[in-house]
Each structure stands twice: as structure tokens, then as C-alpha cells.
Amino acid sequence: MDWGKQNRIDRIIKPDTGKTVMLAVDHGYFMGPTTGLEKLDAAVNPLLPYADTLMLTRGALRNYIDPGVDIPITLRVSGGTSILNQEALLHEGATCSIEDAIRLNASCVAFSILVGADYERDTILTFAEIIDEAQAYGIPTLCVTAVGRDMVRDARYMALASRLGAELGADIIKTYYVDGFEKVTESCPVPVVIAGGKKIPERDALQMARNAIDAGAIGVDMGRNIFQSEDPVAMIQAVRAVVHDGASVDEAYELFESRKAAV
Ligand code: 5RP
């Protein structure tokens, strides 16, 4: 692999553990001021020491994050529809050029493909163009696989969407944890991370992360279950313990409770 691309990947997927805790705060690109991210800088700054990369849009990066911060950026470069337009929601396109991603010193670019949705072809072909452009500059790509309206969110669908993203040329796949997740990781030739999804109790989110790692995921790209936690700093440390240190759910939850109590 090209030196620059490998260097960027190694900044995100830590070579000592082969794992990553990606902090996703890109929700505003289709949901606006998401609960917990109204003041994105205030929410994110205390979490940065515990995240291996920050996933967000270029507007959030420029407006909320200090350029002096030492964290690799995973830049979301897809969008184009909002949560208000459910009909069109599954029809994303490119929202940022690779030139601007380079200007922002992005270590990775993220794009959603909408396998099974009406407009899957548009999203898949646009992502292929993004991969070509990113590849030319040694920038890795993260493929976000989402759920089409008529697709059942199960291991068969996630395996299909994830493998499709890898065959397009993505370097990392982001998908959702489902029962039988081994089917997804074992049939995907590139690393897989899971999104957290809607906020659930902390212990359940830690269990989901544990299950995903045990099933072959190399980490999480988690947002709401961290920044909407009753104690986001304690939660990201607990998630980190699961991902990087092999902590059990009991150990991680105990860590969460103790760090929470320490405040
Ligand atoms: C949307 C995304 C979000 O970043 C993603 O869903 C991660 O956040 P959460 O853990 O809150 O689900 O990629 O497509």
C-alpha cells in the first residue's frame, strides 16, 4: 500500500492493538443541531483525548474545532438530504471535494452508500468516483452502509452492503451490529467498525461493542451512545477499554461508573 495511505490508516487504526475508537459527530449533516451537539465544540473537546479519530463535516470542523488539535480527521463527504424529507433521505451525493479534504488535512473521507434504496446506483457510482480521487492522493475511504427502506437490517443485508463497499475499493466499512455479525466480518476483506445507533443504556451499548469486537469488528464509529451519555467522558473511556484493552462488559461498566463517580 502507498506509504501516505498506510500512514493515515495507522493514525486511525492503532497499530499496537489493531483497533480504533472513532468518535462520530457528523449527525448535523442531515439532522441539524442533534441533541448533545448543539454546541459541538463544548461536547467534543473533553472527548478528544480518548478518541482515535473525529468524524465530522467540513463545516463543523472549520467552525468548531481548533486547528491546533492533535487528532486525525475522518471527513464526511456525503449528504444532500435531510431528516425532514423522508422520501429523499436515501439519496446522498458528494458534498465536499477531495481537494478541500486535503486542504483540511483529512486522514480519511467517509461516504454513505445506500444499498437497497431507490437511488442506490447514484450513491454507489458517486462513491466510486470519490474513491478514485481519494486514492490518487493516498487518502483512505470509509464506506458507511445504511439501510434501504425495504431491506431487513440483518446479517445477510449488512454482509451484502459491507462486501459491496469493500469491492468498490473502500478501506474501512462502517455498519450496524446485528446478530450473526461474524457473517459480516468474515465475508468482508477490509476492517469493519460499527455505528452505535440511537442512544441505549450505557451497559447495553458496551455489550454491543463487546459483541462486535468478539465477532471480528476492529472498533466502533460511535456517536450518540457517547455524546448523549449521562457522562460522555466516562462512557468513551469505557468504550475504549472494550475496544483496545479487551475489557469485559462488567469491567467496562464498572469503569464507567467509577469515572462517573469521580466527577
Ligand atoms: C450516519 C452516520 C453517523 O455518524 C452514525 O450513525 C454514527 O453515529 P451513531 O453512533 O450516533 O449512530 O454515519 O450515517
- pLDDT of 148 reads 61
Q: Rounded distance, CA 148 to CA 227, Å?
A: 26
Averaged over 53-81, what is the pLDDT? Answer: 97
Ligand 1 in contact with 219 (CB < 6 A)? Answer: no
Query: Any bridge partners for residue 74, and if so which?
Result: 55, 108
- How many A from CA of 197 to the centre of ligand 1? 6
Residue 150 confidence (pLDDT) above 70: no
- Whether 4 and 22 have beta carbons less than 8 Å apart is answered as no
The number of angstroms, rounded, from the C-alpha of 135 to the middle of its chain's C-alpha atoms is 19
For residue 76, the ligand 1 atom closest to its alpha carbon is 13
Other Cβ atoms within 10 Å of 251 Cβ, number: 16
The span from the CA of 106 to the CA of 122, in Å, is 24
Do residues 106 and 12 touch, judged by C-beta distance below 8 A? no
Cβ neighbours of residue 241 under 8 Å, at least 6 residues apart? Answer: 247, 251, 252, 255
The residues that are catalytic are 174
Q: Where are the beta strands (DSSP E) in the chain?
A: 20-24, 53-56, 73-76, 78-79, 93-94, 108-113, 141-145, 172-176, 192-195, 219-222
User: Which of 9-13, 23-27, 75-79, 116-120 is predicted with the least confidence, judged by mean pLDDT?
Assistant: 116-120
CA of 135 to the centre of ligand 1 (A): 24
Tell me, yes or no, if the pTM score tops 0.85.
Answer: yes
Q: What spacing in Å lies between the alpha carbon of 25 and ligand 1's midpoint?
A: 8
Name the residue with higher pLDDT: 150 or 21. 21
In the chain, where the domains are located: 3-193
| Residue among 144, 158, 208 whose CB has most ligand 1 atoms within 8 A, to mutate | 144
Q: What is the CATH number of domain 3-193?
A: 3.20.20.70
Indicate whether residue 195 lines ligand 1 (CB < 6 A): yes
Nearest residue to 97 (alpha-carbon basis) of 53, 139, 66 = 139
pLDDT of residue 62: 98
- Is the pLDDT reported for residue 146 higher than 80? no
Residue 153 pLDDT class (50, 70, 90 cuts):
confident
Candidates 221, 227, 239: which one to mutate for ligand 1, based on the most atoms within 8 Å of Cβ? 221
Our answer on whether the CB atom of 196 is closer than 6 Å to any ligand 1 atom is: yes
Q: How far apart are CA 27 and CA 135, in angstroms?
A: 26
- Tell me, what's the pLDDT at 91? 83
Report the atom number in ligand 1 closest to the C-alpha of 224: 11
| Ligand 1 atom closest to residue 196's alpha carbon, by position in its atom list | 10
